[in-house]
Amino acid sequence: MLKIERDILGKNNARAAENRAWLRARGIFALNLVSSPGSGKTSLLVRTLQALGGRVPAAVIEGDQQTEFDAERIRATGAPALQINTGKGCHLDADMVARALPRMALADGSLLLIENVGNLVCPAAFDLGEAHKVAILSVTEGEDKPLKYPDMFAAADLMLLNKVDLLPYLRFDTARAIDYALRVNPRLRVIRSSATSGEGIDEWLAWIDAGLAAAHASARRA
């Protein structure tokens, strides 16, 4: 079993490296958004695209087991979205993304947002070629999630603590949730966010802008 797992991950990582090189050469800043189901990923993506207002070319890869519901919500913002249905699969992999990239007509210097299948386990192990994994933890889930599913938070560079507009109605300890996440990953950056109230959206966009600038500079040096 261990040999099979190593073979699967090894093949995936090789494909991910090809994706990363392809994206870097074009100055495309790719993010892999990971979370449990119902964390508010799609609503946050919609709010992000609306806030960008077309000043940055952006596209979305949507990962779900079935349906195109989320892709349709993204397309309603005017941004292109490609749906990948994984069937019984619990995550996207690098080969799925590799096959999607040529179909998307991505502009050089653009932003690519990959919404992974809702799952806090499987996507942690599969590199897609992204610049960063962004873990989204909703305040409706409980503050112990980073300790229950440490691999996901260890793999991420940013955690969005989402749906903070609901905090007045919940018994959720924000400080404890952040402490647990930082125990797992001391380098993790945390932004409190809400697609409903708009809290944290400017900080999130500033983080994206910094990543875009770094991607553009890297492409110029190549």
* Model confidence pLDDT, tens digit, residues 72-98: 999 999 999 999 998 888 899 999 999
Enter the pTM of the model: 0.94
Number of CB atoms found within 10 A of residue 164's CB: 21
Provide the residue ranges of all domains of the chain, joining segments of one domain with +.
Answer: 2-135+196-216
Low-confidence ranges of the chain (pLDDT < 70): 1-6, 222
Which helix or strand (DSSP H or E) is residue 180 part of?
A: helix 174-184
pLDDT digits (tens, 9 = 90+) for 31-47: 999 999 999 999 999 99
pLDDT recorded at residue 143: 95
Report the side by side order of strands in the sheet with 58-64: 81-85, 58-64, 111-115, 29-35, 132-138, 158-162, 189-192
pLDDT recorded at residue 197: 97
User: Exposed, middle or buried: residue 50 (CB in 10 Å: 0-12, 13-18, 19+)?
Assistant: middle
Q: Could you name the CATH architecture of 2-135+196-216?
A: 3-Layer(aba) Sandwich (3.40)
152 touches 36 (CB < 8 A) = no
pLDDT recorded at residue 9: 85
